[in-house]
Amino acid sequence: MSALREVNLERGMPRADQAIRQLTFELHHSRHLGCTAVKLIHGYGSSGAGGRIRVEARAYLARLKNRGEIAAVIPGEDFTIFSADTRAAFEKCPDLRRDRDLERHNNGITVVVL
């Protein structure tokens, strides 16, 4: 099992509340599998201004981080070697160094360090 899982929250075109329930399940399941990081694919919204799943997922993840339930949240646009959070995530999950979205400034993804 890889230390990194990829989860597509857009699959099946769920409503935002359904995607958040799926996100909660996937974070718990990933922990159970022994993963140290999860890459969430949530899209950025068809308008490019930010889809509801992205906005709601990131707000939910920020609350989890504030409560100490997850270690870090790295928005795709900040997933770069120049980010201290990304470099710290490499220490917990070396598989992130090989992720295809590293340095792509992709705001349709978010990396979660468990």
Which domains are seen in the chain, by residue range?
A: 4-113 (3.30.1370.110)
C-alpha distances in Å from residue 1, one per residue of 84, 88, 114: 26, 21, 15
**Per-residue pLDDT tens for 43-91?**
987 654 458 999 999 999 999 999 999 999 999 999 999 999 999 999 9
Beta-carbon contacts of residue 55 (< 8 Å; ≥ 6 apart)? 16
Sheet with 4-8, strands from edge to edge, namely 4-8, 37-41, 109-113, 72-75
Average pLDDT over residues 96-114: 97
Say how many C-beta atoms besides its own lie within 10 A of residue 80's C-beta: 15
The pTM (predicted TM-score) of the whole model is 0.93
